[in-house]
Amino acid sequence: MKKKILVLCTGNSCRSQMAEGYLKHFAGKDAEVYSAGIEAHGLNPSAVRIMKEDGIDIAGQTSNTIQQYIGMPFDYLITVCDHAQEHCPVFPGSVTRIHHSFSDPAKATGSEEYVQNQFRQVRNAIKDFCRQFVSEYVHTDPHK
The yes-or-no answer on residue 14 being catalytic is: no
114, burial (CB in 10 Å: exposed 0-12, middle 13-18, buried 19+): exposed
Q: Are 6 and 23 in contact (CB under 8 A)?
A: no
3-class DSSP state of 125:
helix
Rounded distance, CA 73 to CA 94, Å?
8
From 72, 88, 95, 98, the catalytic residue: 88
Cα-based angle 130, 133, 135 (whole degrees, multiple of 5): 110
From 9, 14, 23, 36, the catalytic residue: 9
The yes-or-no answer on residue 81 being catalytic is: yes
The residues near 89 (Cβ < 8 Å, ≥ 6 apart) are 66, 70
The yes-or-no answer on residue 88 being catalytic is: yes
From 78, 81, 126, 134, the catalytic residue: 81
Q: Catalytic positions, please?
A: 9, 81, 88
